[in-house]
Amino acid sequence: MKIIVAIKQVPARDSQLRIAPSAKWIAEDDLTYEINEPDAYALEEGLQLKEKHGGEVVALCAGPPRAAQTIREALAKGADRAIHIEEEDMGAFDPLGAAKLLAAALRSESPDLILTGLQSDDLGYGQTGVILAELLGLPHATIIMKVEKRDGGILVKRELEDGWFQHVEMPLPALLTIQSGASKLRYATLMGIKKAKTKEIRRLRAAELGAAAGSPSITIERIYLPQRTKQTQLFEGSPKEAAAKLVEKLKFEARVI
């Protein structure tokens, strides 16, 4: 099975975010980056499928040169090779524009299966995978917990709301977005890190792919820190003092204990 895993590099989860002066994005200068966590689960699923059925796992990533670090980590975990669409200004692409880049890079690949995380931790549109499927004319399923290979296709376990699940049969090639937490993430081994250095990273530029940002159909007007909808009473002082004040409020003001 030839499996493409689309991954994204995003600011680390515990980053302290500041708004850039332009108010169009966050200030990036002192951020550290990591793989979008949902995409790490997609990669894990891809690697497990390869271990079971053989084939190849190719990591696909659109992002600035710094994304190479995240790509190397995917290679160190076991991806066989990677495609890096180098683009400094991904902010100029809306989800459709970004998916067009990925689709263009896949034209010569004809994979059996494309996997990605169910959403990104930064923009959180939760759309790139499904848009990519539509652009490539592939069937898709989202929020997938489990993938089983069947004759002529796959059987996937989809998560629904309120604790419900559903199995879906589908033909290959197909695209799936993978639910986070469905399996345990592996760490890169020392051997894997060593091997990653010799693996191929094909670098493409957005312009070469003939998929420029064009005119986005949605535009970011302004980003800002949310205003609190509730007035939170914060208790300061030592842990002991803060805890005592909180308990007093819960007992005499909120009357819940």
Partner 1 sequence: MSILAVLEHSGSAWHRMSWETLAAAQQIARELDTTASAAFVRPGGHGFADELARKQLEKVYLVDHELLNGYTPDGYAIALRQLIDRAAPRLVLFSHTYQVRDFLPKLATSLGKVAVTDVVAHRVDNGQVVLVRQLFQGKVNVDVRFAADGPNFASLQAGAYRADRVADGSAAVEVVRPQLSAGEIRTKPLELFRESQRAVDLTAAEIIVSVGRGIKESDNLPLVQKLADVLGAELAASRPICDAGWLPMERQVGSSGQTVAPKMYMAIGISGAIQHLVGMKGSRIIVAINKDPNAPIFEVADYGIVGDLFQVVPELIDAIQKSK
- The minimum distance between CB 24 and partner 1, in angstroms, equals 9
Nearest Cα neighbor of 211 from 81, 71, 70, 87 is 87
- The minimum distance between CB 196 and partner 1, in angstroms, equals 27
209 within 8 A of 85, measured Cβ to Cβ: yes
- The minimum distance between CB 100 and partner 1, in angstroms, equals 10
Q: Can you spell out the DSSP letters for 36-93?
A: -HHHHHHHHHHHHHHHHH--EEEEEEEE-GGGHHHHHHHHHHT-SEEEEEE-S-GGG-
> Between 40 and 196, whose beta carbon lies closer to partner 1?
40
Question: Which residues from 27-86 bind partner 1, rule CB under 8 A?
Answer: none
Binding residue count for partner 1, defined by CB under 8 A = 79
Cβ-based neighbours of 119, under 8 Å, separated by 6 or more: 38, 125, 126, 177
The DSSP element (H or E) to which 190 belongs, if any, is helix 190-196
Using CB under 8 A, pick the residue from 40, 58, 115, 143 that binds partner 1. 143
φ, ψ for residue 78, nearest 5 deg: 135, -5
Using CB under 8 A, pick the residue from 104, 170, 204, 212 that binds partner 1. 170
By the rule CB under 8 A, 12 interacts with partner 1: no
By the rule CB under 8 A, 135 interacts with partner 1: yes
The b/e string for 243-257 (b: 16+ C-beta within 10 A; e otherwise) is eeeeeeeeeeeeeee
Rounded CA separation 143/158 (Å): 6
Using CB under 8 A, pick the residue from 29, 30, 89, 221 that binds partner 1. 221
Question: Which residues from 231-250 bind partner 1, rule CB under 8 A?
Answer: 232-236, 239-240, 242-244, 246-250
Rounded CA separation 199/179 (Å): 28
147 within 8 A of 176, measured Cβ to Cβ: yes
- The minimum distance between CB 51 and partner 1, in angstroms, equals 21
Q: Which stretch binds partner 1 (CB under 8 A): 69-77, 106-114, 200-208, 209-217?
A: 209-217
By the rule CB under 8 A, 104 interacts with partner 1: no
Question: Which residues from 150-169 bind partner 1, rule CB under 8 A?
Answer: 159-169
Rounded CA separation 48/174 (Å): 17
> Between 1 and 123, whose beta carbon lies closer to partner 1?
123
Question: Which residues from 172-201 bind partner 1, rule CB under 8 A?
Answer: 180-182
Using CB under 8 A, pick the residue from 1, 127, 178, 211 that binds partner 1. 127
By the rule CB under 8 A, 121 interacts with partner 1: yes
